[in-house]
C-alpha cells in the first residue's frame, strides 16, 4: 500500500510540474504577442532615493492605539474562551486544488517569469464574491517556519461589494503540513466596539499582511486614519450562530456566516497631514536587527509623485503584552527607521532582502504595468539602479502575476508566496534573483 501511495504521489507530482510548465510556456507564448509599445509601458523606475529629512520621515509615522484589555476580556466572557490556530486548522472545511486540477483560466493568473514551482487554486464556491488579498505564513511567525506543530499559510479576502473600499474582510487559515492536501477554515476580521460589548466587521481590502510572533498585522484601505490593525492569533473567538450578520445578535454572536471571528487588539493611526503615507503592501524582513516591517504605499500610474518605501523596527521585548508589535517611543509613536522614494507606481507587493555578505538590501516590487490591465512586472531596486524580469521574444517586462499581490518570504524554505486571482503560488527567491540578473 505504501509503495502504491508513493507511485500515486509521484504521478501527481509529475502532473503538477507538467501543468505548471505547460502554463508557463503558454503564458510565455502569449507574452510574445505583446506589442513593442506595451512592452515599454513599465518604464525603468531608476535607483532608490533615500529620504532623510524630518519633513519626509514624519509623514511615515504611525501612532499606536491599544484596545483596552478589559474590552477583550469582556468579549471573551460573553463569547467563551478564545481558541488558537490549532483549533481553526482542525476544523478545516474547504480544500485548495493542486494546479494540475485548476482550470486554464485560473492558471492565467500565474507569473510567466519567474515561474511558480508550487500552485493551488481556491474553492470557487467559497471565494465567489470575494476579492483576494495579502498572504503571510508561519515562516513569518517563527524562524523555524512552524506555528506549534504546523506549517500554516494565511490568506486574506474581502467581500466584493462593488466599492473600492470593499466589504467585510476575512483570513483563511491553511494547513500546509501536507503539500498534497491544503485544507483551510476562515475567520472574520473584526473591531471591538461599545466597550467590548459588541464588535463590527473590518470593512476593507487587506492588501498587506504579516504574521509576526503571535500577532497578525494587516493594512486597510483609505477611509479613515487607522492604517494598520493588529490581531492576536491566540484570541480567535467562536461565533455562536451562522447568521449573516456581524456582532451581537438575538441568540448569540455572528461572524458573517463564518464560524470564527478575530477581534483587533490594536490599531496604528496615520499623522493628520496631507502627505501622510498609508502602508498598502507590507512584509517581514529578518535580515535587519531587530527584525523589521517593510511597507510601501500604492500610488496610481497617473499620480504626480513618487512612491515611498520604508521600514519600521519590530519589538524584541519578551513582555507578552508587547510581543510582535512595532517598536514605539514613550508616546506610542512608530517612526520609520529607513525610507526611500521610487519611480515605480501601482506597487502591489514588496520584499526587502539582504543576501549573506551584502552591504545593502535589495528591494523587490511587484506592480501593475503602468496601470494597464494584464500582466504585472517584477522589479529589483537598490540605491544604484533597477532591473526587471523579462519574458517572450520581445523581452517584455509584463511577466509577473496579473493583479500583482503581496509577497511573503518563507526564510526556512527559501520560497516567496503570493496570490493572484484564485491562485495561491510559491517560487524560490533564488529563481527571482536569477530572472533579474
Predicted confidence (pLDDT) at residue 424 exceeds the cutoff of 80: yes
Arithmetic mean of pLDDT, 292-307: 93
Q: How far is CA 33 from the centre of its chain?
A: 31
- What pLDDT shows up at residue 213? 95
At residue 14, the pLDDT reads 47
Split at pLDDT 50, 70, 90, the class of 298 is very high
**223 domain residue, yes or no:** yes
- Please compute the mean of the pLDDT values over residues 367-386 and round it to a whole number: 82
pLDDT, average across residues 164-168 = 78
Residues in contact with 183: Cβ distance below 8 Å, sequence separation at least 6, in sequence order: 89, 92, 93, 94, 95, 96, 174, 175
Arithmetic mean of pLDDT over the chain: 89
Domain boundaries, position 132: 62-433
Cell of 90: 482542525
Res. 400: pLDDT tops 50: yes
Q: Which of 16-30, 61-75, 393-407 has the lowest mean pLDDT?
A: 16-30
- Examine the pLDDT at 4 and tell me if it is beyond 70: no
Residue of higher predicted confidence among 402 and 40? 402
Q: How many domains does the chain have?
A: 1
pLDDT band of 34, cuts 50, 70, 90: very low
Cell of 42: 513599465
Domain contains 76: yes
First and final CA of the chain: distance in angstroms? 46
Residue with cell string 511558480 = 116
3-state DSSP assignment of residue 166: coil
pLDDT, residue 162, reads 75
* Whole-number pLDDT of residue 321: 72
Asked if residue 341 belongs to a domain, the reply is yes
Cα separation, 312 vs 236, in Å, equals: 26
Where does the pLDDT of residue 42 fall: very low under 50, low under 70, confident under 90, or very high at 90 and above? very low
- pLDDT level of residue 24 (50, 70, 90 thresholds): low
Residue 4 lies in a domain: no
pLDDT score of 174: 98
Domain assignment present for 331: yes
pLDDT of residue 41: 42
The pLDDT value recorded for residue 37 is: 36
CATH number at residue 341: 2.120.10
342 assigned to some structural domain: yes
In a domain, 37, yes or no: no
% residues pLDDT > 70 (the chain): 88
Q: Is 292 helix (H, G, I), strand (E, B) or coil?
A: strand
Q: What is the pLDDT of residue 2?
A: 39
Q: Is 397 left (phi over 0), alpha (psi -120 to 50) or beta?
A: alpha
Q: How high is the pLDDT of residue 39?
A: 39
Q: Is this prediction's pTM over 0.85?
A: yes
Residues 308-366 have pLDDT tens digits of 999 999 987 666 678 999 999 999 999 999 999 999 999 999 999 988 888 889 999 99
What integer is the mean pLDDT of 145-151?
96
| Residue 12 pLDDT | 47
Alpha-carbon Rg of the chain, whole angstroms?
A: 21
Q: Provide the pLDDT for residue 383.
A: 95
pLDDT exceeds cutoff 50 at 392? yes
Which of 19-33, 209-223, 256-270, 331-345 has the least mean pLDDT?
19-33
Residue 101 pLDDT more than 90? yes
* pLDDT value of residue 32: 41
Identify the residue with better confidence: 48 or 39: 48
Report d(CA 173, CA 211) in Å as an integer: 12
Tell me whether residue 25 is in a domain: no
Sign (positive or negative) of CA dihedral 334, 286, 261, 130: positive
Which are the contacts of 186, defined by CB distance < 8 A and separation ≥ 6?
94, 126, 157, 170, 171, 172, 173, 258, 260
Please say if the pLDDT value at position 163 is more than 80. no
Residues of the chain with pLDDT > 90: what percent?
Answer: 76
Q: Write the CA distances from 16 to 11, 104, 116, integer angstroms.
A: 9, 13, 11
CA distance to 104, 167, 187, per residue, from 158 (Å): 24, 6, 12
Q: Which three cell numbers stand for residue 86?
A: 490549532
Amino acid at each position: 500500500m505504501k509503495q502504491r501511495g508513493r507511485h500515486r504521489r509521484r504521478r501527481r507530482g509529475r502532473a503538477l510540474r507538467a501543468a505548471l510548465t505547460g502554463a508557463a510556456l503558454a503564458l510565455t507564448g502569449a507574452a510574445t504577442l505583446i506589442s513593442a509599445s506595451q512592452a515599454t509601458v513599465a518604464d525603468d523606475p531608476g535607483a532608490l532615493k533615500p529620504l532623510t529629512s524630518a519633513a519626509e520621515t514624519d509623514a511615515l509615522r504611525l501612532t499606536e492605539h491599544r484596545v483596552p484589555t478589559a474590552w477583550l476580556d469582556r468579549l471573551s466572557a460573553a463569547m467563551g474562551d478564545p481558541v488558537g490556530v490549532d483549533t481553526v486548522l482542525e476544523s478545516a472545511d474547504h480544500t485548495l486544488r493542486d494546479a494540475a486540477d485548476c482550470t486554464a483560466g485560473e492558471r492565467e493568473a500565474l507569473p510567466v517569469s519567474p515561474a511558480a514551482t508550487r500552485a493551488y487554486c481556491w474553492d470557487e464556491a467559497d471565494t465567489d464574491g470575494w476579492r483576494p488579498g495579502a498572504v503571510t505564513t508561519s515562516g513569518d511567525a517563527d524562524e523555524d517556519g512552524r506555528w506549534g506543530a504546523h506549517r500554516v499559510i494565511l490568506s486574506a479576502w474581502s467581500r466584493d461589494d462593488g466599492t473600492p473600499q470593499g466589504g467585510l474582510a476575512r483570513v483563511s487559515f491553511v494547513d500546509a503540513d501536507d503539500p498534497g492536501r491544503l485544507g483551510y477554515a476562515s475567520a472574520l476580521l473584526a473591531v471591538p466596539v461599545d466597550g467590548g460589548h459588541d464588535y463590527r466587521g473590518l470593512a476593507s481590502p487587506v492588501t498587506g499582511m504579516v504574521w509576526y510572533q503571535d500577532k497578525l498585522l494587516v493594512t486597510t484601505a483609505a477611509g479613515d486614519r487607522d492604517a494598520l490593525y493588529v490581531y492576536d492569533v491566540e484570541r480567535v473567538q467562536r461565533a455562536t450562530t451562522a447568521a449573516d450578520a456581524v456582532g451581537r445578535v438575538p441568540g448569540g454572536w455572528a461572524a458573517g456566516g463564518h464560524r470564527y471571528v478575530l477581534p483587533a487588539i490594536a490599531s496604528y493611526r496615520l499623522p493628520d497631514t496631507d502627505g501622510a503615507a498609508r502602508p498598502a503592501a507590507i512584509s517581514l524582513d529578518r535580515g535587519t536587527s531587530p527584525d523589521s516591517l517593510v511597507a510601501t504605499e500604492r500610488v496610481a500610474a497617473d499620480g504626480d509623485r513618487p512612491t515611498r518605501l520604508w521600514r519600521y523596527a519590530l519589538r524584541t521585548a519578551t513582555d507578552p503584552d508587547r510581543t510582535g508589535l512595532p517598536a514605539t517611543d514613550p508616546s506610542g509613536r512608530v517612526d520609520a527607521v529607513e525610507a526611500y522614494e521610487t519611480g515605480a507606481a501601482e506597487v502591489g507587493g514588496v520584499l526587502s532582502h539582504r543576501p549573506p555578505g551584502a552591504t545593502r538590501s535589495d528591494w523587490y516590487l511587484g506592480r501593475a504595468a503602468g496601470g494597464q490591465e494584464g500582466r504585472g512586472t517584477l522589479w529589483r531596486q537598490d540605491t544604484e539602479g533597477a532591473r526587471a524580469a523579462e519574458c517572450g521574444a520581445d523581452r517584455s517586462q509584463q511577466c509577473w502575476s496579473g493583479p500583482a499581490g503581496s509577497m511573503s518570504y518563507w526564510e526556512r524554505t527559501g520560497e516567496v508566496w503570493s496570490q493572484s486571482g484564485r491562485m495561491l503560488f510559491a517560487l524560490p527567491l533564488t529563481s527571482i534573483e536569477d530572472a533579474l540578473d
